[in-house]
Amino acid sequence: MNSWDHLPILATVSVARAARRRVLFVAGLWLLLATVGMAGASADSAAAGADVSVAQSLGDRELTIVLRRVTSVPGPLRVDVVTHAGTAPGRLALAVTPTGPQADSSLPVAGAPTARGVVELGGTPGMYSATLDMDRPGPWELAIDDGARVARIPFVVPAQVTSPPERLVYLGFVVAGVLLPVSVVIAVRAERSAWALLPAGGMVAGVAVSVTAALLSASLPLPPQPGGQVDPTVDTVTDPYSPKQPMISDYSRPPVLLTVEGSVTAGRPGDLDLVVLDAATGAPADDLLVHDSALMHLLVVAPGGGLSHLHPIRVAPGRYRIHLTAPEAGRYAVSAEVARRCGGVQMVRAPSGFVALPDAAAPPVKPSVPLRLGGADKSASMVLDGTSITVEATDAVAGEPTTITAKVGDTADLQPWLGMVGHLIMAGPLPDGSDIAAAVANSPVWGHAHSMGPTSMPDMPGMSGGHDMKDMSGGHDVPGTSSRHDLPGQRGGQDMPGMGSGHDMPGMSGEHDMPGQHDTGTTARGVMLMPPVNGESPPDETVAAYGPDAPFTFTFPIAGRYRLWIQVERDYTVLTVPIVLDVAPGAHR
């Protein structure tokens, strides 16, 4: 046998070695791609959601109920109750009830409380807590009982959901993981190791599917979120990607109607019921969302001009209740700001308000003396509950942005109330007269704006040049009727669930150094309350680190005299600053 006779044997050995090298190369490539692919697989994982804060006027107590996020089920739900100055100590009984039908027969039936707890409120303002056990995802209701009345707060416990792209990621890696040892065994033991390329090819295909799904999962839209965009049920919570679920949200629900039931007597505490009805069907509207940390923001203006910003408790579907003491006899103007699921944010007025009957024994009402701004008056000051407050305003001209800044004390110790550093409520133009509530009830504009604090941040790390974004505020400019209407020159549309929480409302000018924005000419002091991102939770009322300045920017559409009320929280006390602002006529457009 000569040397040429060994060529077939050498060729066979070379092919086998090449096949083995290919298999080992593919195996190494699979391990590398597995590492990269696994890192991106969680991009589309459903988040557990942020904490939920709900303000509640429960009897004489003004409380903030904070439902901390539930990260796993079964798991704990921590309920924090924030009290304010003047809140009486006492006991609150808590109970949680699942409201959706449950297919798992091993769990307690829905509709009955599954966990109970007690919160002991102390005499010092602050946070008091209790922990309740949650045994299933889906829609729930938290009942808070003070012994005389029960507040019922709907909420959703999210499920840990695996999205379709994520399933493909896991499936592809499982297939590749099974085929990897098969390829190695065939390459080592088979006489014709080239056969190992078949399972190796399947392994590469599995990795390709996994990596593609991982990369695409970050760009695919999430399904409509139960509770915020679609009605929460066990099915929409546990399987939001099901083909049976709607893939888009329905924003066609009509505005609501608001009526007030009951009567009160001046100087005496009493209860009023607020009935919320669907404007199209007349049925109770039980789909209000937590908007700006409340299910309902109730604004009540007394005949003498005093403002009460309250948060009625939900006692039944479409029915809310408020406990109050009317300071004086007469008719009160009533407006409510709500956000309806698939219906947007609405400022709805109760056409007749309510009447407080006279009582000869009622103590006399001390009239509030408002600050006066407008024209030559650019600044005014007062002392409220021991706090020095100065309010400054730029030129107030109809149709142009006006910036109003409340300077509260000298230190950054304001607390976020209802998720904001400050609130500005305005009504007008108002005619001259002593019955301010009657004038407010008929005013063409009744609005609500927010301040997140100063937005000039020269001292923030990484912010060169200060990035002066001026006074970014949100407003709810509502001339006239229930749902927000547009005035000439303003932007239209309602805020839809899931479309962001910027509070960019008609009549407001959020300023980001854009052309045509209004320059205040001064630098506001303090720290901006940054909106949460990526599912984070905003700071609660225990964080006293904002202000001392709270700037608001609003465009008054009509010239005339307006009543304004600025509200901020300091030392667990909500301070309300009354203001009269004269808005000059603007140029014709």
Residue 437: the pLDDT is 95
Asked whether residue 132 falls in the same domain as residue 172, the answer is no
Domain total of the chain:
4
Residue 54 C-beta-side C-alpha neighbours within 13 Å: 25
Asked whether residue 202 falls in the same domain as residue 347, the answer is no
Asked whether residue 320 falls in the same domain as residue 349, the answer is yes
Nearest to 401 by CA among 516, 523, 501: 516
Among 328, 357, 386, give the residue marking a domain's end. Answer: 357
In the numeric block, the tokens 């499982």 are attached to: 174
Residue 200 C-beta-side C-alpha neighbours within 13 Å: 21
Asked whether residue 558 falls in the same domain as residue 449, the answer is yes
Residue 88, class by beta-carbon neighbours within 10 Å (0-12 exposed, 13-18 middle, 19+ buried)?
A: exposed
d(CA 498, CA 149): 33
d(CA 353, CA 257): 13
Contact 409, 525 (CB under 8 A): no
Residue type, 473: S
Residue 365: the pLDDT is 81
DSSP-derived letter for residue 224 is: P
Q: Is residue 80 part of a domain?
A: yes
Q: Specify the pTM.
A: 0.77
Residue 515: the pLDDT is 34
Please report which helix (H) or strand (E) contains residue 269, including its range: strand 269-278
Q: Is 48 in a helix, a strand, or coil? A: coil
CA–chain centroid gap for 116, Å, is: 26
d(CA 41, CA 167): 9
CA–chain centroid gap for 301, Å, is: 26
Contact 560, 429 (CB under 8 A): yes
For Cα atoms 370, 376, 378, give the angle at the middle one, nearest 5 degrees.
Answer: 55
CATH number for position 91 = 2.60.40.1930
Please give the span between the terminal C-alpha atoms of the chain, in angstroms, as a whole number: 107
Asked whether residue 119 falls in the same domain as residue 228, the answer is no
Asked whether residue 260 falls in the same domain as residue 388, the answer is no
Q: Is residue 44 part of a domain?
A: no
Residue 192: the pLDDT is 66
Nearest to 548 by CA among 562, 527, 530, 520: 527
Q: Is 235 in a helix, a strand, or coil? A: helix
Residue 248: the pLDDT is 60
Using CA atoms, how far residue 461 sits from 231, 426, 467, 531, in Å, is 42, 36, 12, 17
Which residues in 28-46 are b (16+ Cβ under 10 Å) and which e?
Answer: eebeebbeebeebbebbeb
Residue type, 326: A
Q: Is residue 6 part of a domain?
A: no
Q: Is residue 65 part of a domain?
A: yes
Asked whether residue 376 falls in the same domain as residue 296, the answer is no
| pLDDT, tens digit only, all 589 positions of the chain | 454 444 343 344 444 455 555 544 545 544 444 444 443 333 322 334 678 999 999 999 999 999 999 988 899 999 999 999 999 999 999 999 999 777 677 788 888 999 999 999 999 999 999 999 999 998 999 999 999 999 999 999 988 887 777 888 888 788 878 877 877 777 777 666 667 677 778 878 878 887 887 787 777 777 777 887 788 888 888 887 776 666 565 667 889 999 999 999 999 999 999 999 999 999 999 999 999 999 999 999 999 999 999 999 999 999 999 999 999 999 999 999 999 988 889 999 999 899 999 988 878 888 779 999 998 999 999 999 999 999 999 999 999 999 999 999 999 999 999 989 999 999 999 998 889 999 999 999 998 999 988 864 444 333 333 333 333 333 443 333 333 333 333 333 333 333 333 333 333 333 333 333 344 445 667 777 776 666 677 788 889 889 899 999 999 999 999 999 999 999 999 999 999 999 999 876 5
Among 306, 327, 357, give the residue marking a domain's end. Answer: 357
Show contacts of 219-226: CB within 8 Å, 24+ apart: 220/44, 220/163, 220/165, 222/44, 222/46, 223/247, 224/248, 224/249, 224/498, 225/497, 225/498, 226/139, 226/156
Question: Strand 115-121 vs strand 150-157: parallel, antiparallel, or unpaired?
Answer: unpaired
Q: Is residue 14 part of a domain?
A: no
Domain with 308, as residue range(s), is 256-357
Using CA atoms, how far residue 248 sits from 148, 244, 252, 389, 585, in Å, is 42, 12, 12, 47, 44
Q: Give the start-end residues of each E strand in 39-193.
A: 52-58, 61-67, 75-82, 90-98, 115-121, 127-134, 138-145, 150-157
Asked whether residue 136 falls in the same domain as residue 266, the answer is no
Please report which helix (H) or strand (E) contains residue 22, including its range: helix 7-40
Asked whether residue 380 falls in the same domain as residue 437, the answer is yes
d(CA 179, CA 175): 6
Residue type, 448: H
Nearest to 171 by CA among 216, 217, 229, 210: 210
Q: Is residue 412 part of a domain?
A: yes
Contact 278, 254 (CB under 8 A): yes
CATH number for position 279 = 2.60.40.10
Q: Is 195 in a helix, a strand, or coil? A: helix
Q: Is residue 3 part of a domain?
A: no
Please report which helix (H) or strand (E) contains residue 12, including its range: helix 7-40
Residue 367: the pLDDT is 76
Q: Is residue 491 part of a domain?
A: no
Asked whether residue 413 falls in the same domain as residue 301, the answer is no
Using CA atoms, how far residue 382 sits from 305, 306, 370, 406, 562, in Å, is 17, 16, 9, 11, 19
Residue 166: the pLDDT is 82
Q: List CB contacts of 511: < 8 A, sequence separation 6 or more.
A: 401, 455, 469, 470, 471, 472, 517, 518, 553
CA–chain centroid gap for 462, Å, is: 28
Which residues in 188-197 are b (16+ Cβ under 10 Å) and which e?
Answer: eeeeebeebb
Contact 96, 151 (CB under 8 A): no
Asked whether residue 280 falls in the same domain as residue 407, the answer is no
Asked whether residue 217 falls in the same domain as residue 280, the answer is no
Peptide bond into 303 cis (omega under 30): no
Among 157, 177, 212, give the residue marking a domain's end. Answer: 157
